[in-house]
Amino acid sequence: MKLLHLSDLHIGKRVNEFSMLEDQRYILKELEDLAVREQVDGVLLAGDLYDKPVPPTEAVSLLDGFLTALARKKIPVFAISGNHDSPERLSFGTRLMAGEGIHLSAVYQGAEEPEILWDEHGPVYLYLLPYLKPARLRHVYPEAEVTTYEQAVEWAIRKWNVDPAQRNVLVAHQFVVGGTTCESEELSVGGLDQVSAEVFQPFDYVALGHLHGPQTIGRETLRYCGTPLKYSFSESRHQKSACLVELGEKGAVSVRTVPLHPLRDVRELRGSYEQVTARSFYEGTNTEDYLHIILTDEEDVPEAMGRLRSIYPNLMKLTYDNLRTRTSQEILGAEKPEEKSPLELFRDFYQLQNNQPMSPGQETLLTGLMEEIWEGEP
């Protein structure tokens, strides 16, 4: 059994006000060709299909084209919603699409039956878990006394009664403790959305979405495949890839990553204005790439952005690294409040106001209030 694990397409995304639709169309065709070439038995889409809850029409058309192309080639798709998707909008037409092999679990409705694929070793059970918040779990199971994301996910998995003797695959969109984050992700305040890897123990392979860098958590078969494209300059050194998962008999799982080749890369260039505008500097490179240029000149270059875009038309960001900016960073670096979570900031504020730290009970109460405010709890 061979499965293609993808996630976080973020169709319709704009990066530094640049539309990524053309790049996404290009990479989706590459992924379609990969699925056909590898003769996969299914495609796993682990959430964040769109970048916005209300995606632009061009984004809807692009995803529709990708899913239709796979359906026409008789490649089944098993997809879930992520935290960027609108579950209700994404669920429109799911029963119709299921008839064409597009299985989409957008709104968590409780312990729905798994999808099943068959090969010479028997069945593979595919469990689909949309992005799950404690409030949604309690909406479905009012008796559930859950307050954290981990408790919600643990409850949902327990309700399935997964048979450990079978081959089981989970598609989920959660933040697993130990994951490495990127600038382009949207995470909950204070780490409220974290889930431990232990809750996924019943599954032979866990196809995760949410974190944009490809990585494993604890074991090779608990994996984020990452985004197919780079969506921030913090990802400039990533090698984006797709995951091919092969399941043999029970306990035999292998994963192979296939590098992806974008229409345009996301890169950082560094040097003086004279250096980065020298023909010898940029000849032989793709000047159409999305760029962050870091100038090392001690004096600001007049109209540098416009002048540089005559060579690098997709220049997204321009900054300076010199004595002035380094000195500024040293002054600001003493506190760096932007690097602290809201919980840490409130701890500091409480200590300042009361000359004593918060008690454990106060922190628990505050954490609950933050979840209600930021996670849309009633």
Give, in order, the Cα–Cα distances in Å from 146 to each of 151, 172, 261. 6, 19, 43
Which residues, 6+ apart, have CB-to-CB distance to 51 below 8 Å? 10, 11, 12, 13, 14, 59, 84
Q: What is the pLDDT of residue 355?
A: 52
Structure tokens at 33: 């060709």
Are the beta carbons of 79 and 104 closer than 8 angstroms? yes
Lowest mean pLDDT among 43-47, 147-151, 181-185, 231-235: 181-185
Q: Name the percent of the chain lying above pLDDT 90.
A: 76
| DSSP label of 232 | S
**Which pLDDT belongs to residue 345?**
78
Q: How far apart are CA 245 and CA 261, in angstroms?
A: 20
In Å, how far are 263, 287, 288 from 284, measured between CA atoms? 16, 9, 12
**What value does the mean pLDDT take over residues 369-373?**
75
Bridge-based pairing of strands 241-247 and 253-259 is antiparallel
CA 208 to chain centre: 9
C-beta of residue 231 within 8 angstroms of C-beta of residue 262: no
- For the stretch 250-289, pLDDT in tens is 999 999 999 999 999 999 999 999 999 999 898 888 999 9
Residue 86 identity: S
Q: Which residues does 66 contact at the CB level (< 8 Å), separation at least 6?
A: 28, 31, 32
Residue type, 246: E
Give the type of residue at 195. Answer: V
CB count in 10 Å sphere of residue 146:
18
Q: What is the pLDDT of residue 377?
A: 47
Pairing type for strands 266-271 and 290-295 reads parallel
- 155 Cβ contact partners less than 8 Å away, ≥ 6 residues apart: 137, 141, 144, 146
Whether 320 and 300 have beta carbons less than 8 Å apart is answered as yes
- Portion of the chain with pLDDT greater than 70, in percent: 92
DSSP 378: -
Closest CA to 101 of 128, 78, 124: 78
In single-letter form, the type of residue at position 47 comes to G
What is the maximal distance between C-alpha atoms in the chain?
Answer: 68
Distance CA 279, CA 107 (A): 53
Q: What is the mean pLDDT of the chain?
A: 90
| CA dist list (Å): 299 to 293, 303, 322 | 15, 12, 8
Structure-token match 């299914």, residue found: 42
Question: Can you tell me the mean pLDDT for 325-352?
Answer: 65
pLDDT in tens, 5-58: 999 999 999 999 999 999 999 999 999 999 999 999 999 999 999 999 999 999
Question: Which residues are paired to 253 by β-bridges?
Answer: 247
**The two three-digit tokens of residue 341, written as one number:** 């979570």
Q: Can you tell me the distance from the alpha carbon of 120 to that of 140, in angstroms, rounded to the nearest whole number? A: 37
Numbers of helices and strands, H then E, in the chain: 12, 19
d(CA 252, CA 254): 7
* pLDDT higher than 50, residue 66: yes
- Beta-ladder partners of 105: 80
The CA distance from 27 to 43, in Å, is: 15
Return the axis-axis angle of helices 342-354 and 360-374, rounded to nearest 10°. Answer: 130
Structure tokens of 199?
Answer: 């809750």
Element (DSSP H or E) covering residue 360: helix 360-374
